[in-house]
Amino acid sequence: MPKIFSKRFSKGLSIIEVVIATAFFVTLVVSIVPLYLDGFDTNLRDTNKLQADMMLQQGLEAARSIRDQNFNNLVSGTYGLSRSTGYWRFSGAQDVFGKFTRTVNITDSKRDVGCNVQSSGTTDVYTKKITVTVSWNYTAGNPGQEVATEYLSNWSGYGGCEQSANLVIELSGAYLSSNEQRVAGITLRNVGSFPITIDKVTAEWTNDEQIEEVKIASSIVWKYNGIGSPDGRQSSGVELDVQNVVLPATSGVISLDHFFFTGEMEHVDFTFYVKMADGTVKYEHIDNLDD
């Protein structure tokens, strides 16, 4: 009897062990599979993102190539890209590579008076904003997207973003009047696509007279006894902080009505400096002022 009981008990333990082992295996599989699938999903996302980044960079390089061919090719709109002719060109509204869709959006670039790029302001006709977008689906209903932006300029016609690059000072018509104490006939012109702000002016001359007044566009912007700074009559080379004068984009000719001095300026060499609000400077020189 004891031997029979022992065999039955041993057989029962074997069944229980199998059940326990099976349950443990199932639990292990159930816990490991999600980790594996999550790792697979992460790898897939990383792979897709890497491919999208490569397509973004290619899109920006293509836009630069198209700009280099002719800046006028950068017409505002949304495009795809093609290289079927051996060089990059815009083609259609998008280009598709498997699950990936790429678009190149071109818009006008706008700048403030300091030439800083912003969403509103004056259109800079020498610069375009390029936005490349690559979108795709990881799985149904699970989208991904990468975006890159760059500003491309027309360097062949662009004088630079500095305000001084677009200010034209014309001294060829300068002359003396009012007992040869008044230097007149100087003109200013903004040839750029955004406004220029004149912040300070400096004049240099080759005698001992002093300056009393500066007048631009019919307004006195500095005077020795109360308008602008410093106060008092000033000698050659002193920077005058004038009341700011704004030259609109692509403005017509603005008259710098006069520099008025304490005495005669005949046969004097004269140099005129303008400092803009962005800190850049433009100057012109004339030899031997005459009436």
Q: Residue 61 and residue 80: Cα distance in Å, rounded?
A: 13
Are 183 and 134 members of one domain? Answer: no
Q: Is residue 54 part of a domain?
A: no
Structural domain of residue 241, as residue ranges?
163-286
Query: Using one digit for the tens of pLDDT, what is the confidence trace for 24-66?
Result: 666 655 555 554 445 545 665 678 888 888 998 899 999 999 9
Number of domains forming the structure of the chain: 3
Are 28 and 110 members of one domain? Answer: no
Are 214 and 228 members of one domain? Answer: yes
Q: Is residue 47 part of a domain?
A: no
Which domain-ending residue is among 138, 161, 184? 161
pLDDT band (50, 70, 90) for residue 5: very low
Amino acid at 36: Y
Q: Is residue 55 part of a domain?
A: no
Are 239 and 265 members of one domain? Answer: yes
Are 89 and 157 members of one domain? Answer: yes
Q: Residue 124 and residue 192: Cα distance in Å, rounded?
A: 8
Which domain-ending residue is among 98, 129, 161? 161
State what percent of residues in the chain have pLDDT above 70.
80
Q: Residue 91 and residue 101: Cα distance in Å, rounded?
A: 13
The CA-based angle 167-173-176, given to 5 degrees, is: 120
Q: Is residue 199 part of a domain?
A: yes
pLDDT band (50, 70, 90) for residue 9: very low
Are 188 and 84 members of one domain? Answer: no
CATH number for the domain that contains residue 225 = 2.60.40
Mean pLDDT confidence for 277-290: 85
Enter the DSSP assignment of 206.
S
Are 101 and 168 members of one domain? Answer: no
Any residues with CB less than 8 A from the CB of 174 and at least 6 apart, and which?
A: 183, 184, 185, 186, 270, 286, 289
Query: Using one digit for the tens of pLDDT, what is the confidence trace for 140-174?
Result: 667 889 998 888 877 665 555 678 888 999 988 89
Are 191 and 230 members of one domain? Answer: yes
Q: Is residue 44 part of a domain?
A: no
pTM (whole model) above 0.85: no
Are 151 and 167 members of one domain? Answer: no
Q: Is residue 95 part of a domain?
A: yes
Which domain-ending residue is among 129, 146, 161? 161
Q: Which of 271, 62, 258, 247 is nearest to 179 (CA)?
A: 258
SS (H, E, C) 26-66: HHHHHHHHHHHHHHHHHHHHHHHHHHHHHHHHHHHHHHHHH
Query: Using one digit for the tens of pLDDT, what is the confidence trace for 66-125?
Result: 998 999 999 999 999 999 888 999 999 999 988 899 999 999 988 775 567 777 777 877
Are 270 and 173 members of one domain? Answer: yes
Enter the DSSP assignment of 229.
B
Query: Using one digit for the tens of pLDDT, what is the confidence trace for 185-202?
Result: 999 999 887 788 999 999
Q: Is residue 25 part of a domain?
A: yes
C-alpha dihedral (201, 202, 208, 211), degrees to nearest 10: 10
Q: Is residue 50 part of a domain?
A: no
Are 167 and 137 members of one domain? Answer: no
Q: Which of 120, 260, 255, 251 is nearest to 196 (CA)?
A: 251
The CA-based angle 111-113-119, given to 5 degrees, is: 30
The predicted structure's pLDDT at residue 19: 64
Are 218 and 121 members of one domain? Answer: no
Any residues with CB less than 8 A from the CB of 117 and at least 6 apart, and which?
A: 109, 110, 111, 127, 129, 151
pLDDT band (50, 70, 90) for residue 181: very high
3-state secondary structure of 18: helix
| Torsion sign (Cα): 31, 33, 34, 36 | positive
